[in-house]
Amino acid sequence: MKFRTIDADALGQLGEGPSHIKRFERAGQVTRVGEWLKNWYLDELPQILNIVAGDMFVIGTRPYPLDAYEAELDMGRTRKYEMPGGLVGPVQSYKGVQSPSEYDLDLEYWEAFATWSPWSLLKLDGQILRRSVKVQLAHEGR
């Protein structure tokens, strides 16, 4: 669940079913309010309801677009199925700086989630949360 940030023209191009709106945002098809919400990362705020419902974690990998998710399942990779997505995660914590690919960051976090002790994972989550807050306060990596 998120606030809608794309304009009416982009909304009309979406079609039925799940879709990824990143292409519309990159093309500048964002409302004035949507731009402000995205600048302050407030478009993510409704996802707190997803966390409360147990559908998401606070820290974790971001949900994939449906086609990428299905492609991973077709390759036998079930990590996105086995671990709920997170509000913030390793990809967001590296925005605005040179970093490994989104795929590598997600894979590293999944491996930690699947194999590390709860205490070690909690420390990693703390590092990710600190870096994410720094990125958000600096308005990096839109």
- Which range of residues forms the domain containing residue 94? 57-142
CA separation for the pair 107, 89 (Å, rounded): 12
Based on the domain organization, do 32 and 82 belong to the same domain?
Answer: no
Domain total for the chain? 2
pLDDT in tens, 47-88: 899 999 988 899 998 777 777 788 888 998 888 778 888 988
Higher pLDDT, 7 or 117: 117
Whether 125 maps to a domain, the answer reads: yes
Half-sphere exposure of 19 (CA within 13 A, CB side): 15
Based on the domain organization, do 40 and 65 belong to the same domain?
Answer: no
Sort residue 50 into left (φ over 0), alpha (ψ -120 to 50) or beta: alpha
Question: Which of 97, 12, 85, 1 is CA-nearest to residue 43?
Answer: 1
Whether 51 maps to a domain, the answer reads: no
With contact defined as beta carbons under 8 Å apart, do 134 and 96 qualify?
Answer: no
Is the pLDDT at 17 greater than 90, yes or no?
no
Average pLDDT, the chain: 84
* pTM value surpassing 0.75: no
Based on the domain organization, do 86 and 116 belong to the same domain?
Answer: yes
